[in-house]
Structure 1
């Protein structure tokens, strides 16, 4: 058959199209949503088949999105072969997981290898993700999943005997400490090659925010050059093939809006190990509307992370932090980047809570490396106040491809206080929902800017937060949701 290039964006899912009257499809029994294998130029691709009607395709053509043509080194009109794929034996393990069975390491390695190789459909990956989300966490199974995810990708090595890293488990809008922490730790002379994820269920991930200031899609040689030159970097983990199954799983988790503890731990630790990290500090925000709701949940996750990390050869420390309200003012990639730059620049507009949290985490990493607690805090503060951290961050940006100023949205609208009162609480989850309805993280400048904090007194009509959006339609969606959910910012009588 012949390839036909289609201007279609599939969001990462491998899908191809054939005409409903295609004789090959009929003779081979290819039905809609069947899995097919495309072979061309020595490359193979597993994809989900969909059927087309009308004049979109001739009956001897296979419609293929441009991104998949590139993976096949295929040009529009070139010949290809379509065939049935070999059965996936690892799917029996997924079915076992759905029925409540624990998976041993060989079964997990088979599943992760097939996922990383693009042999699973989105439906099959969703079944695997759901199986873990529906069952209590098992330490040995989680460690096996971590090793399986590590084995599926590349692994970096560094000359330093201590390679620092930090990770926040998420669930707290605006908690964008990583760029500040990396800058401080690298300015202290330590090695911190940071790989970060894009957003899963939040309005921004560290990679999304960093991308508004510098390129993040670096390959391993480019990443190594940045770290050799500046001691640290902040790059997107999906571009360096360090845990290739992880970004596939994240894409499905985002669609399902779930993030199980076992897969969270395996995701975090496999990427830390693959990046060559030896010492990892974990930020666990705790609050009634954060991902971790209470100290008991934080203790359980800390134990799981530390136990699995120790089994895999990592030195782990965890820090439980305040998750009762968002950190900083901005929620959304560019808005969070503006906060980061203000803190690094020691500007009066820099959010005090973001500054304090970043300093605590940077000091925690210095302490984990061996510095005394008092000296670690003093060193971190000095590096920030004296401008060394800002200078290091800008050099990292330049080494990654050049610094750029984060953008600003074209549309804004205030949500105001309906009455006078005191700010009692924020609903982190619904604030994040508003920022996502406004377009974040896909539209980098979209999101929310907060004007109030817990405990602050406000007057009737005073702005509580401002919605930022790139389009009127998205702004209206976000505003309508916010207006219908007044208690997203809970107020008490003065």
Structure 2
């Protein structure tokens, strides 16, 4: 028996290949384990090391990349198995994935009940679904193919698949934006105001999915955000709030797996959006959440009808899951602030918190309005008084002091870095700014390198209604690599993002 185990075992080597959350194992084409077990490229296999076990996708490689008798592990697989020097792994066929039959049923138009969704999400969270399977599930549920009860059951399944925090008191405040509006980085300001008011607001945020920056990306230019649950608890107990990356926590872990596949597919269905947002609120222990939904012609939510449908779905699912929710419609006709991209948005946030003369007024006004609504919603202030209280906390410097304290508790506050390369984009004619395409601006910022290069992005110089003259800069591109700067400029040549014309 010992010999048989030895024959199926392999030495391990870290390949240094980043596959994000998907586990990948690399094996020699003539590996005795591959031949004995009949493994082929892209097979799903189970890797065992001591008490740890993961499901991985097999990639077959030719010499000299790997020698016989050695299994190469992707970075994510290495982190999960934690091999020590001299350790050997055993490899076997992955167990049958019974929940895929439910995904196939959904593809053919059948409903998914609560047990089916529990089974699918449990397997996703356990890492048993490769990207292809997750893509199939997301596609089967997109385009309005999930009804209300399915969305409720999906939300509950995502909460049940991970940890759930309990802060021992109420209210626990939360604020979230559904996204789609570049530069709308109100969350760090709102968290600072709410915590300065004495409420508890343990804010977990995502990295960018389809945008040039997520709140976690922006905060990471100023302070560590990859905190564990116990670190997060200490920060919240000390300062009343935090601003951390949710992906470093085991709160709704299946959502992070789904987001990884949503990003390249650019899928963001209402049901998945609602389940993603609300599962993380519930898992983080929130009792009262204000959701910002910008509405505009080039925002994620483009019409009042789309807003109303999303609002009703959010409210119905939240009520079924026991979360107090207030959905707020905000104007989404143009970007907020001046910066688009992690560092540039962080500089806007700092300017507002510090009360700087050059701070973008619209970002501060939005943040104060949302903080005021959250103060009232949590019962901390009377009807109609929350905004004035929020404004006082911001203007007095209390919110700035709280932001600094939160960052120090998370590991220190640092200044965001600026880009090496900058290229102004000039107006081609005199006139008024009639329209700003938020979607195209976001794409340009991503082509320039954001959010992977934190200093990359766009700094806006104009707003709707501004009068400009030919040769004036409309915005400045920021990049870290010449190739990315050229790529963004090439896109702009064929896709104008700011409409300048005669007065209407």
TM-score by length of 1: 0.98
Alignment of 1:228-307 (within 5 A): 228-307=237-316
CA distance in structure 2 between the partners assigned to 1:468 and 1:177 by the alignment:
22
1:62 aligns with 2:53: no
Change (3 A) 1:77 1:489: farther
User: Aligned runs of 1:59-458 on 2, under 5 Å?
Assistant: 59-75=68-84, 78-370=87-379, 371-458=381-468
Aligned with 2:224: secondary structure?
A: coil
Structure 1 unaligned blocks of 5 or more:
none
The answer as to whether partners of 1:163 and 1:278 remain within 8 angstroms in 2 is yes
1:36 aligns with 2:57: no
Shift of 1:250: 0.7
Cα shift at 1:18: 1.1
In 2, Cα distance between equivalents of 1:398 and 1:68: 32
CA RMSD of aligned residues (A): 1.1
**Structure 1: distance between partners of 2:85 and 2:344:** 41
Instruction: State the secondary structure of the residue aligned to 2:88.
Output: coil
CA distance in 1, matches of 2:383, 2:241: 23
Residues 346-371 of structure 1, C-alpha deviations (whole Å, 9 max, x = no match):
11111111011001100010111122
Task: List 4+ stretches of structure 1 deviating above 3 A.
Answer: 134-137
Contact 1:41-1:73 within 8 A present in 2 as well: no
Alignment coverage as a number of residue pairs: 493
**Cα deviation, residue 76, structure 1:** 5.7
On the 8 A contact 2:341/2:454 being kept in 1, the answer is yes
Displacement of 1:82: 0.9
List runs of 5+ in structure 2 lacking aligned partners.
Answer: 1-9
Matching residue of 2:7: none
Name the residue aligned to 1:470. 480
| Maintained 8 Å contact 1:410/1:469 | yes
Please say if residues 19 and 75 of structure 2, whose CA atoms lie closer than 8 Å, have aligned partners that are also in contact: no
- SS of residue matched to 1:373: coil
**Alignment partner of 2:129: what SS?**
coil
Q: CA deviation at 1:240?
A: 1.6
Contact kept in structure 1, 2:22 and 2:76, CA below 8 Å: no
* Per-residue deviation, 1:77: 5.2
**What is the Cα deviation at residue 134 of structure 1?**
3.2
In 2, the alpha carbon distance for the partners of 1:136 and 1:74 equals: 43
Residue 109 of structure 1: CA displacement? 0.5
